[in-house]
Amino acid sequence: MTDIIDLLAEADELAEQTKTEEATTTTTDHEVTIELVQKMVDWDKRRHILKDWQWNVMNDIVSGEKALNDRLAWGCKQNLKTLKQHGFTED
């Protein structure tokens, strides 16, 4: 019985790991990745260029609370334009 429980626990871990890997490599039609959103969140956290709600949505994407779909990717692309005007670079 313990073997079955161990196997189920291992299967759950693998499924969660797969979800995490997919979330970190998501790319949309707007050429916005989770990694880029993370850089934007980190950069703006110190500078406060974006409005609070804009930053919060991007932070929710990075933390996995929201999926990076096309609509949110478009919004992140708009935020990227704003941040670039204030000195943000993608490098």
* pLDDT confidence bin for 79, thresholds 50/70/90: very high
| 57 falls within a domain | yes
* pLDDT confidence bin for 24, thresholds 50/70/90: very low
* 3-state DSSP assignment of residue 11: helix
The residue range of the domain holding 14 is 2-85
| 90 falls within a domain | no
| 18 falls within a domain | yes
| 61 falls within a domain | yes
Structure-token match 């260029």, residue found? 49
- Give the number of domains in the chain: 1
Structure-token match 């703006």, residue found? 44
| 21 falls within a domain | yes
The alpha-carbon radius of gyration of the chain (Å, integer) is 17
**Is residue 87 left, alpha or beta, with left meaning phi > 0 and alpha meaning psi from -120 to 50?**
left
pLDDT of 4 reads 72
Rounded-to-integer distance, Cα 7 and Cα 13, Å: 10
Phi, psi of 51 (to 5 degrees): -70, 155
pLDDT of 70 reads 92
